[in-house]
Structure 1
Amino acid sequence: MNQRPKIVVIGSLNMDLVVKAVRAPKRGETVLGEEIHFIPGGKGANQAIGLARLGAETTMIGAVGSDAFGVELMKALQADGVNTSTVKVLNSEATGVASILLAEGDNSIVVVPGANAQCLPEDLDRYEGIISEADLVLLQLEIPLVTVEYAIKLARKHGTPVMLNPAPAQSLSQDLLSQVDYLTPNRSELALLAKMAEESAIDQGIQRLLELGVSCCVTTLGAEGVAFMELGTSTLANISGYMVPVVDTTGAGDAFNAGLAFALAQKKSIREAAEFAVKVSALAVTKFGAQGGMPSLAEVEAYFRRAVDEENRHLK
């Protein structure tokens, strides 16, 4: 393995309130749940832990409240070796919360930002040195957009590559998109950003984003895998997903982004990085909880080595 890559994650920290039910309620309906769990989450924190477990030297920039949820989120990050000295702790705001319903093998999520809304551009100025020394900066959209924009400008000032996971979905300016090295939308986020119908062809949506200045667009397609295209190419590349026993899909996208960022920060090609990220996300959904499901590098290598061995045995 290459020297540990240095990655800065700038994003959200939430406490996930996860409710399991047989099915989702219809409008105006009440259904009985089976379980409730309080699990550290937030796209930023999830991806930071995913990176740390894979072996990256990871720094988390964000904000939490000084309440019990904030304390737990910081402990969870620290337990996996994430640098949290750059996380702002606020007395005036509650920690962000995500309410997650798991039903019928899928999830639906409502996020209350709380302290995440106070992750501000001026906070980043204090950590410009860390950003300048990083191999990659990873961002999402659960913090103020003005902070995301400022983070991208700071990273580009120092030549640090930028990966943006544009979730939750929202429209983004061409100026912002043109400064992103790696954009990782899912199918619906791709449609919104490209201003196209969701049923439009994936390659048309990706091509549109490249025309807007994105250097490389990697679109996640759930169980189908991923599709990607780089600026200057006209051929869509596809990587198939893996058939695995699904326990919880909540952290699949975050695991994918962690895997992709980790491999790219190691200077792997986009194809190599995407192939690795698909493996990381496949393994993540076999466990419960977004952060709990994040695998280590050793786990990823061992799992897929066994899968290859079993396939070879079947072929004999």
Structure 2
Amino acid sequence: MNDITILGIFVADLSFSGDKIPVSGETILGDNYNIGPGGKGCNQAIAISRLGGKVNFISKIGDDDYGKLAINSLQKNKIDTKNIIISKKHKTGVAGIHVDKNTGKNAITVVRGAPTSLTKEEIDIKIIKQSKIFLTQLEVPLDVTLYCLKIAKEKNLINILNPAPACELSKDFFKFIDYFTPNETEAEFYTGIKIKDKDDAKESAKKLVNMGIKNVIITLGEKGLFYTNGKEEIYINASKVSAIDTTGAGDAFNGSFSLGLSKGKSIRECLELANRVAGLSTTRLGAGDSMPTLSELH
């Protein structure tokens, strides 16, 4: 039995680094590129495994070259691939990522491919039921995500929803969520509050708690993070690092936060761990490939 089960997608990340992110109609010369594992679920699974955690990853890929990259990447990172569904009818997903090497900021287009066809019937719910924590995002069909959140909650798992990419959710979602982990842009989508500082984050988080969510963590990029459960509040500054690529930082955060919870750490310890891991992930190019190892934390 693995402590954490993740439902999410794998995409092959094609990352291009240059002096700026091109605008519409513009061609620029880059200076580096990387082809590696991506997709929020995959990145989160890699983050957990590299930190010594045991994780189940439920996903769907195509029977193609990028699908082979998926299997090889997961096996290389000691992640069991028996819950990966291989489709003969659909392509493996791909993401095109432009990175500004001077700021680490990015612009991303994701084509999900095979996961868009994932159905409830394809999910092995025994895997979820045997875990402690269920972590998911909004990259697979919403009906499948909600179904799995319900299954997990029936078995008293801790449910973590990383609401990315942000989209309209029915009220049913919120009653099954224990931890809601938007970044500042996603939090604004759900609350209408533009977050420029800690006070804005506090107001946004309070609104989310009032929507029925038990614990809210808003990640604020270089401004750190804000947590509340309606009673306790925690603000932590971002780690001081020289960021070159912020792709996957949120996934590093969610994966390591989940791992901390599975180990019984306090909420502050989990947040501090996740903050540190996310910061380290921005110091190298790529998404899944940028996830830190346990030895790098010492």
Q: Does the pair score TM above 0.5?
A: yes
Whether the 8 Å contact between 1:5 and 1:265 is mirrored in structure 2 is no
Q: Which deviations, in whole Å up to 9, do the C-alpha atoms of 1:159-180 show, x marking residues without a partner?
A: 1111111111212222202210
Distance apart, 1:120 and its partner CA: 1.9
How far apart are the structure 1 equivalents of 2:175 and 2:192? 16
Aligned residue in 2 for 1:312: none
Q: Which moved more, 1:48-57 or 1:188-197?
A: 188-197
Report the AA paired with residue 125 of structure 2. Answer: E
Report the AA paired with residue 16 of structure 2. Answer: V
Structure 2 gaps of 5+ residues are: none
Aligned residue in 1 for 2:154: 157
Aligned residue in 2 for 1:33: 30
Superposition map of 1:96-175 within 5 A: 96-103=93-100, 104-105=102-103, 106-124=105-123, 127-175=124-172
Aligned residue in 2 for 1:223: 222
| 2:288 counterpart of 1:297 | no
Distance apart, 1:193 and its partner CA: 1.3
How far apart are the structure 2 equivalents of 1:240 and 1:198? 15
Report the AA paired with residue 99 of structure 2. Answer: L
State the TM-score, normalized to the length of structure 1. Answer: 0.89
Identity over the aligned pairs, expressed in percent? Answer: 35
Aligned residue in 2 for 1:307: none
Superposition map of 1:19-98 within 5 A: 19-98=16-95
How far apart are the structure 1 equivalents of 2:76 and 2:292? 14
Change (3 A) 1:227 1:206: same
Report the AA paired with residue 150 of structure 2. Answer: K
Aligned residue in 2 for 1:287: 284
Aligned residue in 1 for 2:212: 213
| 2:3 counterpart of 1:6 | yes
Q: Which deviations, in whole Å up to 9, do the C-alpha atoms of 1:235-276 show, x marking residues without a partner?
A: 532011111122221121110011100001112221111011
Distance apart, 1:198 and its partner CA: 4.3
Distance apart, 1:186 and its partner CA: 0.4
Larger Rg: 1
Report the AA paired with residue 11 of structure 1. Answer: G
Distance apart, 1:46 and its partner CA: 0.5
Q: Which deviations, in whole Å up to 9, do the C-alpha atoms of 1:74-123 show, x marking residues without a partner?
A: 11011111111001001100000110001242111000110111222112
Distance apart, 1:56 and its partner CA: 1.2
Distance apart, 1:28 and its partner CA: 2.2
How far apart are the structure 1 equivalents of 2:141 and 2:44? 18
Q: Which deviations, in whole Å up to 9, do the C-alpha atoms of 1:203-251 show, x marking residues without a partner?
A: 11111111111110011011221100014x1x53201111112222112
Report the AA paired with residue 181 of structure 2. Answer: T
Report the AA paired with residue 207 of structure 1. Answer: K
How far apart are the structure 2 equivalents of 1:227 and 1:173? 24
Whether the 8 Å contact between 1:255 and 1:284 is mirrored in structure 2 is yes
Q: Secondary structure at the match of 1:292?
A: helix
With a CA cutoff of 8 Å and minimum separation of 6, indicate the structure with the bigger relative contact order. 2
State the TM-score, normalized to the length of structure 2. Answer: 0.94
Query: How many residues are treated as equivalent by the alignment?
Result: 294
Distance apart, 1:31 and its partner CA: 2.1
Q: Which moved more, 1:33-42 or 1:148-157?
A: 33-42
How far apart are the structure 1 equivalents of 2:246 and 2:224? 14
Distance apart, 1:5 and its partner CA: 6.1
